Chains A and B, each alone.
Chain A
Amino acid sequence: MLVAKNLSKSYKEVKALTDVTLNIQKGELYGMLGPNGAGKTTTISILSSLLKPDDGKIFYEEKSLYQNLSECKKLIGVVPQEIALYEDLTASENLKFWGTMYGIKGQQLQNKSDELLEFLGLADRKNHKIKTYSGGMKRRINIAAALLHDPKIVFMDEPTVGIDPQSRNLIFEVIEELHSRGLTMIYTTHYMEEAERLCDRIGIIDEGRIIAEGSLDELKANSSIKEEIHLEYSNPNKNGLEQLTDRYNGQLLVNDDHLILSSSQANSELPELIQLCSQSELLLDKIDIRSLSLESIFLELTGKSLRD
Chain B
Amino acid sequence: MFTIALKDIKQYFKDKTAVFLSLLLPIALITIFALMYGGIGKSEKSRPINLLFTDQDKTNLSQEVFSTLDAEEGLKLEIKSYDEAETLIKKGKRTAVLVLYKGFQDSVETGKKIPMELFYDEAKEIEMGLLQQALWSNLFGVTMKKGIKGKVNTWIKDKNPDLSNSEIEDIQAQVAEQFEGFNNSGEQSEIEENSELPMTALVGEKKNGNLGLVQAIAGIAIMMLLFSVSASGASLLKEKEDGTFRRLLIAPVSPSGILYGKMLSTLFMAVLQLSVMFLYSWLVLGLDIFINLPALILMILCAAIACSSFGIFMASVCKSRKQVESLSTLIILVISAIGGSMMPLFFMPAIMKKLAVISVNYWAMEGFFDIFWRQLPLIDILPKMIILLGIAAVLTSISVISFRRNLLKMV
Contact = CB atoms under 8 A, between A and B. Distances in A.
Given A50-B411, A82-B242, A84-B242, A98 B250 contact: no
Interface string B234-248: 000000001110111
Nearest to B251: A101
A50 B250 contact: yes
A73 interface: yes
Contact of B252 (A51, A80, A102): A102
B411 A73 contact: no
Contacts of A38: none
B1 interface: no
B253 interface: yes
Contact of A101 (B242, B246, B248, B411): B248
B255 to A, nearest CB: 11
A294 to B, nearest CB: 28
Contact of A86 (B244, B246, B411): B244
Contacts of A50: 246, 249-250, 411
B253 A101 contact: yes
B252 A84 contact: no
Interface in A82-105: 82-87, 98, 101-103
A48 B246 CA distance: 10
Interface centre among B242, B246, B252, B411 (most CB of A within 10 A): B252
> Chain B interface residue count: which class?
10 to 19
Nearest to B245: A84
B252 A78 contact: no
Interface in B241-300: 242-244, 246-253
Contacts of B248: 101
A292 interface: no
A6 interface: no
B405 to A, nearest CB: 15
A48 B242 CA distance: 18
A101 B252 CA distance: 7
Interface residues of A, number: 24
A204 interface: no
Contacts of A48: 250
Contacts of A49: 250
Interface string A46-61: 0011110000000000
B243 A80 contact: yes
Interface string B397-411: 000000000000001
A80 B248 CA distance: 11
A85 B244 contact: yes
A290 interface: no
Contact of B247 (A51, A70, A98, A103): A98
B250 A145 contact: no
A86 B244 CA distance: 8
A45 B410 CA distance: 13
Contacts of B242: 82-84, 87
Contacts of A87: 242
Contacts of B249: 50
B241 to A, nearest CB: 9
A48 B249 CA distance: 9
B250 A76 contact: yes
Nearest to B253: A101
Most interface-central of B244, B250, B253 (chain A CB within 10 A): B250
A76 B249 CA distance: 12
A168 B242 CA distance: 22
A180 to B, nearest CB: 25
Interface of B: 242-244, 246-253, 411
3 closest Cβ pairs, A-B complex: A82-B243, A84-B243, A101-B251
5 contacts: A50-B250, A73-B250, A82-B243, A84-B244, A103-B252
Given A101-B251, A102-B251, 18 more contacts: A45-B411, A48-B250, A50-B246, A51-B411, A69-B252, A74-B252, A76-B250, A78-B247, A80-B246, A82-B242, A82-B243, A83-B242, A84-B243, A86-B244, A98-B247, A98-B251, A101-B252, A101-B253
